[in-house]
Amino acid sequence: MRQIVVTGGGTGIGRAVAEAFAAQGDQVVITGRRKDVLEQTSAQLGVNVRAVAFDASDPVQVQAALDALPARVNVLVNNAGGNTDIGADEPTGLDAVAAAWRANLDANVLSAVLVTTALRPRLAAGGTVVSISSIAAHRGGSGSYGAAKAAVEAWNLTIAQELGKDRITANVIAPGYIESTDFFQGGMTPQRRAALLVQTANGRAGNPADIAGTALFLASPAAAHITGQTLHVNGGALAGR
């Protein structure tokens, strides 16, 4: 039975990923900062899912959580993150700009780096690391969030090389517009949604199950020779290169 860890697993994409692995009979640990949300999700998803609450961007909390995480990890999904600029005031002054950039780098890059580093000794040979990026890493206009996701993709190239000797793959999923998540915090207007859908080739928004299915594939034997890659899941809104 495989042991799966999904950071940011309480809602949205992370929840869908956890549910998909649990449905296969895998044992899943979901992590996140909000203990109440995690425990509610764990109860809803069933006996194959348990919750461990900690902030993945805080090294002290990551270290403290290790005793509650599996002794052996077959699949790690670095999903924790989000655009910390959404809902925040426009920064004024260099100190505020620095704080805004650090917030996105901590939430999206440092979280993945710390959890992967902490669990590296526990990653089973033949296992998988999947990190979640964004179409924003390949387009302008998203400031520190896009830059942070681009950094995740660059870092993935390094860990793919480091983990390869143990036949552990490391890949990135870069979603386009995904509905049914809290990402936009209610800020998605009908006009913006329509503009995003026009950019796709298939005329629809993505959903968390699209990303979960891609994660399942990357963690399957069928993807054993795929590593160091970014898979674009955006309905054709942006061509992968």
Residues labelled catalytic:
145
Query: H/E/C letters for each residue in the chain?
Result: CCEEEEECCCCHHHHHHHHHHHHCCCEEEEEECCHHHHHHHHHHHCCCEEEEECCCCCHHHHHHHHHHCCCCEEEEEECCCCCCCCCCCCCCCHHHHHHHHHHHHHHHHHHHHHHHHHHHHHEEEEEEEEEECCHHHHCCCCHHHHHHHHHHHHHHHHHHHHHHHHCCEEEEEEECCECCCCCCCCCCCHHHHHHHHHHCCCCCCECHHHHHHHHHHHCCHHHCCCCCCEEEECCCCCCCC
